Amino acid sequence: MARHVVALPYPGRGHINPMLNLCKLIASKSNDILITFVLTEEWLGFFASESDPKPDTIRFCSIPNVLPPALTRASNLNGFIEAVWTKMDAPFESFLDQLDPPPTLIMADTLLFWAVSAGNRRNIPVASFWPMSAMLFSVFHHYHLFKENGHFPVNLLEKGDERVDYIPGVSSTCLLDLPVPDINEVSRLQFLKQMVNCISMVRKANFLLFPSIYEFEKEAVDTLKAEFSFPVYATGPAIPYFKLGNNPSLNSLGDNEVNYLQWLDRQPRNSVLWFER
């Protein structure tokens, strides 16, 4: 195969599923792209027990378990995240050097900031995949503006109702509705600092991908396109919509057998609110 993509998601269901759905969509469009989907041994075991069919052009591989167990990570979430940021890079780079055929692209979750450096050192292009909204990315990317406008650090009891209208691509929003920790939330402040560091590494990538609909987040996506020197893409919703035609049950709204896509097409313009997770 002429092209070989190494896909590396953050080890969490809300990050793995969007990237896997994008990989399946890519595989459905082209037979000459090999995708190596890299998971920890623990997560590979979870997926091995699932019956969902996998395309022949996607192969699943693992790196050693160097993280606390996923099923108990809630008891020490900060420790789990710290392990992701400090212990996964070495086994991934060792795995990367042994791959055959050699990869032509690394698609890595934005939170795995060290994957960008791994690709840079090997002259392998890196696509940073942010599995959330482009607007949220813009918030973190422009986090310095909170400090410049007196909203970081902040006492949310005093200023939580103030409006934030200075984040490019993001409409005026109440401060309480944004990921701004209170000045007394020490653990969240530490996490935020590392999140901003992850976002800053995107500048060294070659592509930035959002599983979003461009028309829904046009202002945010266009803002980021203007700020980065490389391509920025809204790839569409990270849900397995491409399987609907092959599975009638996924088109149904229950006993009425109403195709929800047909129902959606019949609704008046601007009358439906979209939620995605």
Question: How confident is the prediction for the chain on average, in pLDDT?
Answer: 91
Asked if the model's pLDDT at residue 258 lies above 90, the reply is no
Asked if the model's pLDDT at residue 112 lies above 60, the reply is yes
Calculate mean pLDDT across residues 252-275: 73
Domain presence at residue 28: yes
Domain presence at residue 175: no
Asked if the model's pLDDT at residue 235 lies above 60, the reply is yes
- Residue partners of 185: CB distance under 8 A and separation at least 6: none
Helix 89-97 vs helix 77-87: crossing angle, to nearest 10: 40
Which tens digit of pLDDT belongs to each residue from 11-37? 999 999 999 999 999 998 888 999 999
Asked if the model's pLDDT at residue 9 lies above 70, the reply is yes
pLDDT for the residue numbered 190: 85
Asked if the model's pLDDT at residue 94 lies above 80, the reply is yes
Asked if the model's pLDDT at residue 254 lies above 70, the reply is no
- Stronger pLDDT, 247 or 164, i.e. the higher one: 164
Residue whose token pair is 């979430």: 77
Integer Cα distance of 199 and 96 in angstroms: 23
Domain presence at residue 55: yes
Integer Cα distance of 244 and 242 in angstroms: 6
Domain presence at residue 6: yes
Domain presence at residue 244: no
Q: Where are the beta strands (DSSP E) in the chain?
A: 3-8, 33-40, 58-63, 105-109, 126-129, 163-164, 173-174, 207-210, 232-234
pLDDT for the residue numbered 202: 98
Report which of 92, 85, 123, 130 is spatially closest to residue 105, judged by C-alpha positions.
123
The range of the structural domain enclosing residue 84 comes to: 1-129
Point out the least confidently predicted range of 83-97, 166-180, 198-212, 247-261.
Answer: 247-261
Confidence of residue 77 (pLDDT cuts 50, 70, 90): confident
- Stronger pLDDT, 244 or 49, i.e. the higher one: 49
Question: Can you give the pTM of this predicted structure?
Answer: 0.88
Question: Which pair of structure tokens corresponds to residue 235?
Answer: 């790839």
Question: Which pair of structure tokens corresponds to residue 133?
Answer: 């909204």
Domain presence at residue 211: no
Are the C-beta atoms of residues 209 and 129 closer than 8 Å to each other? Answer: yes
Report which of 26, 221, 33, 227 is spatially closest to residue 137, judged by C-alpha positions.
221
pLDDT for the residue numbered 243: 60
Which CATH number does the domain housing residue 17 bear? 3.40.50.2000
User: What is the number of domains present in the chain?
Assistant: 1
Cβ neighbours, 10 Å, residue 106: 27
Report which of 179, 181, 176 is spatially closest to residue 160, judged by C-alpha positions.
176
pLDDT for the residue numbered 242: 56
- Stronger pLDDT, 191 or 35, i.e. the higher one: 35
Domain presence at residue 78: yes
Q: What percent of the chain has pLDDT over 90?
A: 74
Asked if the model's pLDDT at residue 247 lies above 60, the reply is no
Integer Cα distance of 217 and 211 in angstroms: 11
pLDDT for the residue numbered 170: 98
Confidence of residue 277 (pLDDT cuts 50, 70, 90): low
Domain presence at residue 235: no
Q: What is the DSSP string of 86-137?
A: HHSHHHHHHHHHT-SSPPSEEEEETT-THHHHHHHHTT--EEEE--S-HHHH
pLDDT for the residue numbered 179: 94
Q: How many secondary structure helices (H) and strands (E) does the chain include?
A: 11, 9
- Stronger pLDDT, 179 or 74, i.e. the higher one: 179
Report which of 75, 78, 86, 16 is spatially closest to residue 44, judged by C-alpha positions.
16
